[in-house]
Amino acid sequence: MQAAPTQVASQPPQDPGAGRLIAGRYRLLAKLGHGGMGTVWRAKDETMDREVAVKEPRVPDHLPERERDNAYERMRREARAAARLDHPAVVQVHDVAVVDGRPWIVMELVQGRSLGAALQEGTLGVREASRIGLQVLGALEAAHAAGVLHRDVKPDNVLLGRHDRVVLTDFGIAQIEGETSLTDTGGFVGSPEYIAPERVLGQRPGPASDLWSLGVVLYAATEGVSPFRRTNTPATLQSVLNSTPAAPASANGPLAEVINGLLNKDPARRPSAAQVRTLLEEAARPPASEPTRVVQTAGQVVQTSGPGGKGLRIGRKALLGAGAAVVAAAVTAYLVIADPFAGPLPEGWATRTHPKLGVTLAVPANYQVTRPEADAAPKDKNWVTYSDWSGGVWIGVQVARKSQDSLNQIKNSAAAEMYADNEKFKSAGDYDLSMPEGPRTTPEATTYKDRKAAENTVAYTTTDSRDPRPRELRIFYYRTSAGDMYKLTVSYPGKGDFTERGREVAEAAIANLEIARS
């Protein structure tokens, strides 16, 4: 059962069942969410005068009696599993109230939201992901020491509470050492994209299986997508067993080492909890302050710090005493130094502004432009392409508008969009570009104006049977704060005299890209 993110905002009182008194003390107030095994309510413990979360059993009436009994026993085990753990990152169970033979679990109300909900808005930085990972690891260590396997570690079961508290919840399918299995014949419990390969194969799981799931959670937290998610459950399970995910592009250093180690198919070769803790602590540690640069401004001092510091700091005397133009010049100098995308425009290049796209491109001045037809639908007008006379090198930019994304196809981060495209390239190719399946790709994280972005370089040989040619694509991804997804693509020959020229064009086009809605 998926634990509900326990937001404690006021909710409409018209939920069916609201106002009901459970076990003579728990007054149901509003539904917080539901999953496969129950509905979670915000409730008032009238005896203790406090708000709690109450999980109502949710079992279809048409189920055979044996399966209903199994579901109720699973809920009792959830309560026992959580209650035997003493750790601040494990949700506290207060009571199990039995009503008409059905167990209602009474838990602490964690005020916050789930990690899954947070990831709908974007990915986490390395330090924050590592901090959350450390708390989940602590909960798992406490569970494993008590002989409990969680078996369903995923973002929706990680709650982000007040005061930076992180709570692992929903022990509904936990396995307690010494107790018999409740899985029905042919049944499968857990979330496929987060489940360890040994469990898919029906082998006996252990603590390493929960750590695998933690590795997938950390990957999803930094990259924005699970590396094993596919369009259906069988395909997802096959990818868990057989796919080697691309190295995380946004995570680096110790966190990347944790993720790569935990996603080893062989549980015996995964790092131990102690090793994971050491690496996560290192990754969560604040970086050392960058050296401070000092700029003299007419007798005053303007201090600047690098990307790891706190940015620009101007002394109060400088602001009051120095001329505004002098201070402005110092600020401008800092911005030019600090901005990694501030690149000089190459000789023979020009800028081309497209207000409707909200973008300014830098392209060789003699490149020819191609635009959408005038009568194209609005969603089909969000692109423009420039190419040299031979057609061998071309630069294109397209934008997917959040306002036009009725099917929610835009990913929640540049990295997630890049990995989704990467998966398409690997599994089906891109036949509009005469691309075969399984091209060589090089995904990586980057930044645009201090915000997360992503890139991919795709190398392939065209599928033209008469004249196959090597090609390269350099694709830059950026998602604006408004949710629009920009892709800048540069295509050029993958071998020959024009390869280096194409790579230079790609480098300059990306370095000089200006997005108005960033």
pLDDT of residue 78: 62
Q: Indicate the residue among 108, 129, 159 that finishes a domain.
A: 108
Q: Indicate the residue among 47, 81, 108 that finishes a domain.
A: 108
Cβ burial 265-291 (10 Å sphere, 16+ → b, else e): eebeebbebeebbebbeebbeeeeeee
Q: Over the Cα atoms of the chain, what is R_g?
A: 27
Task: Please indicate, yes or no, if residue 260 is contained in any of the structural domains.
Answer: yes
At 431, which helix (H) or strand (E)?
A: none
Residues of the binding site for ATP: 55
Judge if 421 and 354 occupy the same domain. yes
Task: Please indicate, yes or no, if residue 314 is contained in any of the structural domains.
Answer: no
CA distance 491 to 388: 11
| Two structure tokens written together for 304 | 């600047």
Q: Is 61 a catalytic residue?
A: no
How many whole angstroms from its chain centre is CA 283? 17
Residues of the binding site: 55
| Two structure tokens written together for 399 | 């934008």
Cβ burial 170-208 (10 Å sphere, 16+ → b, else e): bbbbbbbeeeeebeeeeeebbbbbbbbbbbbeeeebebb
Catalytic: which of 45, 152, 388, 421? 152
Task: Please indicate, yes or no, if residue 409 is contained in any of the structural domains.
Answer: yes
Domain with 140 in it: what CATH number?
A: 1.10.510.10
Give the pLDDT of the chain (518 residues) as one tens digit per residue: 444 444 444 444 456 788 889 989 999 998 887 655 678 888 999 999 999 988 887 766 666 777 777 777 777 766 776 677 778 888 888 888 888 778 888 888 888 889 998 888 788 889 999 999 999 999 999 989 888 888 889 999 999 988 889 999 877 554 554 444 444 433 445 689 999 999 999 898 899 999 999 999 999 999 888 899 888 888 899 999 998 888 888 888 899 999 999 999 999 999 999 999 999 999 999 876 544 444 443 444 444 344 333 333 333 333 333 343 333 333 333 333 333 344 568 888 988 888 889 999 999 988 988 888 777 777 788 999 999 887 889 999 999 998 888 888 899 999 999 998 888 887 766 546 778 888 899 999 999 988 899 999 999 998 877 778 899 999 999 999 889 999 999 999 998 888 999 999 999 999 999 998 66
Judge if 196 and 157 occupy the same domain. yes
Bridge-partner residues for 297, per DSSP? 300
Judge if 162 and 37 occupy the same domain. no
Write out the residue range of the structural domain in which residue 143 sits.
112-178+188-284
Q: Indicate the residue among 84, 108, 132 that finishes a domain.
A: 108
pLDDT of residue 476: 97
Judge if 85 and 170 occupy the same domain. no
pLDDT of residue 315: 38
Judge if 66 and 123 occupy the same domain. no
> Number of structural domains, the chain?
3
pLDDT of residue 272: 95
Judge if 433 and 481 occupy the same domain. yes
pLDDT of residue 300: 41
pLDDT of residue 155: 94
pTM beyond 0.85: no
At 292, which helix (H) or strand (E)?
A: strand 292-297
